[in-house]
Structure 1
Amino acid sequence: MTDKKSDTRSAAIAAGVILLVATAVLYLMPNVIVWLGTISPWLGTGFGVLVILAFFFVFWLRARYQRRKEP
């Protein structure tokens, strides 16, 4: 049986890391999109779509991991 305090700490650390990475990526995203948009508007749009999809993909993976981890 696992310790509830350890599980809570692990979830808090994971949430903090996800939040920090997402904040950094979303903060830098407009500059990268504009830069890629000078090369090709489709490239900038594609990058923006991929970043947003990756954000939701991380939460989907985390939920899958949590479901598999539960007895």
Structure 2
Amino acid sequence: MKPETRSQMVAAALIMIGAVVVIYFLPSLVLWIGQYSPALAFIVGGILLLGFFWIFWLRARYQRRR
């Protein structure tokens, strides 16, 4: 296995683990924030969900440049 391939696998695994943790805690986090402000809960939930796709988009841009 090439070192470059291994690095890509580790990066993808860390991103996926981070996404799973965020998605696991997202409902309770949004409900907790929703007690104070439903609009803020909506915004935080949207940012966390879009953040998952944003990370992969940034990684693809970085890989394309290299």
Q: With the length of structure 2 as denominator, give the TM-score of the two structures.
A: 0.94
Are residues 1:32 and 2:29 paired? yes
Structure with more contact order per residue of length (Cα contacts < 8 Å, sep ≥ 6): 2
Runs of 4+ in 1 over 3 A off after TM superposition: none
Choose the corresponding residue for 1:60, options 57, 60, 66: 57
Unaligned 5+ residue runs, structure 2? none
Taking the TM superposition and a 5 Å limit, the aligned residue runs for 1:39-50 are 39-50=36-47
Taking the aligned partners of 2:50 and 2:17, their CA distance within structure 1 comes to 17
Return the index of the structure with the highest Cα Rg: 1
Following TM superposition, by how much is the alpha carbon of 1:67 offset from its aligned partner in structure 2, in angstroms?
A: 0.4
Are residues 1:6 and 2:23 paired? no
Unaligned 5+ residue runs, structure 1? none
Following TM superposition, by how much is the alpha carbon of 1:57 offset from its aligned partner in structure 2, in angstroms?
A: 0.6
Instruction: Compute the RMSD of aligned alpha carbons.
Output: 1.0
Taking the aligned partners of 2:18 and 2:51, their CA distance within structure 1 comes to 12
One-letter amino acid of the counterpart of residue 27, structure 1: Y
Following TM superposition, by how much is the alpha carbon of 1:7 offset from its aligned partner in structure 2, in angstroms?
A: 1.3
